[in-house]
Amino acid sequence: QSLIPKFTMKTAVFASLLATAAAFAPAANKASSSALKAFDDELGAQVPLGFWDPLGLVADGDEEKFSRLRYVELKHGRIAMLAFAGYVTAEGGARLPGNIDFAGTPFTDIPNGFAALGAIPAAGLTQIIAFIGFLEVAIMKDIVGGEFPG
C-alpha cells in the first residue's frame, strides 16, 4: 500500500513538469488569411494578438466596412461615457434648477436611473427622443473625407 502514494505523487510531479514545459514551448504559427493581414497596421492592432476580430466582422478585408465599424464603435463608446457621467452626476445629487414641466414638477422629484422613465412626463420623453434624433441626423454624422473620427 505504500507504493500507491509514491506512484501518485511521482505522477503528479511529472505531469506538472510537462505542463510547465508546454506553457513555455513556442506556439505554432497559424495560417491567417491575407484579408485579415490588411488591418495588421491599423491603430489598435497590438502585439501579441495583432488585429483581433473574434466575430469575423471584417474577415472579407473590406476597408470601407472596417472604417464604418470603427466609427460606430467610437461613437457608441462616447455615448456610453456620457451616459455614465450623467448617471453618476444624478446619483451624486446634482439636479437642474426649476421645473421639468409646466405643471410645476421640480427636477428634484425625478428619481435616478430607469425609474426616471416612469416619472418624466410623456411630452418630456418625446422631447428627449426628438433631440437625440436631431443629434443623430444633424450633428453626429459620419464624416466622409478621410478624417479619423477619434
Those residues with Cβ within 8 angstroms of residue 107's Cβ, 6 or more apart along the chain or in another chain: 95, 96, 97, 98, 99, 100
pLDDT tens digits along 10-47: 777 777 777 776 666 665 555 455 555 677 777 777 77
Q: For the whole model, what pTM was predicted?
A: 0.59
What pLDDT score does 101 carry?
86
Half-sphere exposure of 125 (CA within 13 A, CB side): 9
> Coil, strand, or helix at residue 45?
coil
- Distance, in Å, from the CA atom of 124 to the CA atom of 101, rounded to the nearest integer, reads 8
Q: How many residues does the chain have?
A: 150
Beta strand extents in the chain (DSSP E only): none
Cis peptide before 5 (omega within 30 of 0): no
Range 99-104, long-range pairs (CB < 8 A, 24+ positions): 100/124
Specify the pLDDT at position 143: 64
C-alpha angle with apex 146: 142 to 150, nearest 5 degrees? Answer: 65
| Residue 99: strand pairing partners | 106
Residue 45 to residue 48: CA distance in whole angstroms = 9
Could you count the other beta carbons within 10 Å of the beta carbon of residue 118? 9
How confident is the model over 52-111, as pLDDT tens digits?
888 888 888 888 888 888 888 888 898 999 999 999 999 998 999 999 888 888 999 999
